[in-house]
Amino acid sequence: MSSVAPSSVKPSIRVKVLFFGRLKEAAGAAEEFVELAPGSRIEDLFAGFTARRPELARYRSSLVASRNQEFAAWSTPLDSGDEIAFLPPVSGG
């Protein structure tokens, strides 16, 4: 019978987050690693960033998210090792 240590550490998942365009400045970095609770979604991840950097919230309505280099819905659940990118709209002229 295996023994199980008391659960003093909450399980978490680790994801890599990339910011592009104007988001890099607003986020303060081009990439960051984040620990999240299992079952977290892309929306939850972005909400965590806006809590620390409220200026990011103004971009939310026009952002596209990707998970592992494929476009993804904001409701997509995250897995440990995922790479999430937030992409602002492309402005041309």
Cα–Cα distances in Å, from 69 out to 4, 12, 72, 82? Answer: 37, 22, 9, 10
Residue 4, helix vs strand vs coil: coil
Q: C-alpha 62: how far from its chain's center?
A: 16
Q: Which domains does the chain have, with CATH numbers?
A: 13-87 (3.10.20.30)
- Amino acid at position 20, single letter: F
Q: Model pTM?
A: 0.84
Round the average pLDDT of the chain to a whole number and report it: 89
Does the pLDDT at position 90 exceed 90?
no
Tell me the pLDDT tens digit for each residue of 45-84: 999 999 999 999 999 999 999 999 999 999 999 999 999 9
